[in-house]
Amino acid sequence: MREALVRLYTSRFGQPPRSILDLAGDGSHRSYYRMVGDDRATVVGGMGPDREENRAFFGFTRAFRSIDLPVPELLDVDEPAGVWLEQDLGDATLFAALVAAREREGGPFPTAMLRVYEQVVELLPRFQIEGGRVIDYAIAYPRSAFDRQSILWDLNYFKYHFLKLAHVAFHEQRLENDFETLADFLLRADTSHFLYRDFQSRNIMLPGGQPFFIDYQGGRLGAPQYDIASLLYDAKAALPDEVRDHLLDHYLTVLERSLPLQRAAFLEQYRGYVLVRIMQALGAYGYRGFYERKARFLQSVPLAARNIEGLLARGLPVSLPELEQVFAHIVDEWADRVETPEVALGLTVHIGSFSFRQGYPADTSGHGGGFVFDCRAINNPGGLLEYQAMTGRDPDVAAFIEASPTSHDFWQNVRLLVAAQIDEYLKRGFTSLSVHFGCTGGQHRSVYFAERLATYIRHETPQVTVRLTHHEERNWPVREVPAADQEGRRNGAGRR
């Protein structure tokens, strides 16, 4: 395919490219290259293995260009070979501009970006209404509409690629019932307009500061709520709620010029589309992060969890009891794992306990590596009835482990090795180190050493941030909480 791309370029410009540079693209099987000519002019060359997806991209691009929507110009296409040349829009994305502005101005949302986002939401209705009139939905890929089947695909993508791979417990039938309820609710919306499908900050380019749009080949008939939800709840962009509310109101004001709508009904359905978009995104993060082992995708999970936390606080738009329980677990497990997006705040040591029965925890830092210590050579208190309802946090369990002949040497080796690594990471400016302890059930020995190491690091190196996670905590035996502890939790000892 690369040879076919060079032939297409040579046919178009009369000579082969002077150089070909890879362009990053982790989210699909499509490949892009910046092709540089002798005059240093550049074009982007694309290669896609799926002919039907390519066909949708070519057809949609020509349709959008016919009504002057800001999408890249197609310069030449070899459809049988699956290659094409398109206008080079540069490297500046809306997301990159947002990150750069945050670094300059500080704060959760730079004022300089507000007008840029307003321009983006002003253009979205043109795609949805005007674009929808010129699109041939017969070439939409993989379906012509975001219908019940498409919705259930997304919800099951979330179930199989996030919930199961992240070991989030759920009741299968009750979750399926909630999926059907949510699909019914979503399909009450007007689904007769163009749905862009992946309308988010990395798919919006800013050549010369003006928005241009890419990656719409998954578009189809659907509800306009989906795309505005995709933009405003883009996890890594982490827009503050007040900015979301302002941009949503601005979008609706523009949309109402082309489409009569009842705002209250639109907003009620919008909340449902926010849910399904976040779940679709979590499915993608899980597939790319847990399954394909591209850990950087898991960096977005805590941000998505924070979005879910905000949605739960406002209340879900329809009764979804099992899904609400799943969301609460995701918030509890993930929402506290980062402080701010895209900003490194010194060294963070991620400490965790886990069960080898459930497999190794995935790296969420994006750096890979770290330590995994096997505690199974130490006598197991879980084999004794008197300790089975306890965990490694209990003093009786701690005393049992400390009496084990091998525990002292094990702890000293762990302590010295991790301390030396922390010292070196601090000197070199590294930002993330993971240390996990595994045992048979993830309840006693691994928990004890994870807690002990967290306490040690917090005392010895207070400049280091420690994040402690017990991956099997949801499976520990439920015990009565003393009244004093209950009072403490009511007064703010809350989520770990």
Angle between helix axes 407-428 and 445-460 (nearest 10 degrees) is 40
Question: Tokens for 166?
Answer: 């992240």
Calculate the alpha carbon distances from 42 to 20, 33, 494 in Å: 10, 10, 55
Q: What is the share, in percent, of the chain residues with pLDDT greater than 70?
A: 92
Lowest mean pLDDT among 4-8, 161-165, 471-475: 471-475
CB 259, CB 125: distance < 8 Å: yes
The 3-state secondary structure of 92-141, one letter per residue: CEHHHHHHHHHHHHCCCCCHHHHHHHHHHHHHHHHHHHHHHHHCCHHHCC
Q: What share of the chain is helix, strand, coil (3-state, %, to 5)?
A: 50, 15, 35
Q: Quick one: pLDDT band at residue 491, thresholds 50, 70, 90?
A: very low
Question: Tokens for 295?
Answer: 């850990």
CB 464, CB 349: distance < 8 Å: yes
Q: Say whether the peptide bond before residue 142 is cis (omega within 30 degrees of 0).
A: yes
Tokens 């701010």 — which residue?
A: 340
Q: Quick one: pLDDT band at residue 76, thresholds 50, 70, 90?
A: very high
Q: Quick one: pLDDT band at residue 25, thresholds 50, 70, 90?
A: low
Residue 81, pLDDT above cutoff 50:
yes
Q: Which pLDDT tens digit goes with each residue over 312-321?
A: 999 999 999 9
User: Once rounded to an integer, what is the mean pLDDT over residues 308-333?
Assistant: 96
Give the integer Cα–Cα distance in Å for 269 and 252. 13
Domains 2-87 and 94-334 share a fold: no
pTM above 0.85, yes or no: no
Calculate the alpha carbon distances from 362 to 84, 280, 359, 492 in Å: 37, 20, 9, 30
> What is the predicted pLDDT for the residue at 484?
41
User: Once rounded to an integer, what is the mean pLDDT over residues 61-67?
Assistant: 98
Identity of the amino acid at 325 = Q
Q: Quick one: pLDDT band at residue 194, thresholds 50, 70, 90?
A: very high
Lowest mean pLDDT among 122-126, 150-154, 417-421: 417-421
Rounded mean pLDDT of the chain? 89
Reported CATH class of domain 94-334: alpha beta
Q: Quick one: pLDDT band at residue 65, thresholds 50, 70, 90?
A: very high
> What is the predicted pLDDT for the residue at 67?
98
Q: What are the structural domain ranges in the chain? A: 2-87, 94-334, 348-493
Report DSSP letters for 301-324, one per residue: HHHHHHHHHHHHHH--SS--HHHH
Q: Specify the CATH number for 2-87; select among 3.40.50.1010, 3.40.950.10, 3.30.200.20, 3.40.50.300.
A: 3.30.200.20
Residue 343, pLDDT above cutoff 50:
no
Q: Which pLDDT tens digit goes with each residue over 255-265?
A: 999 999 999 99
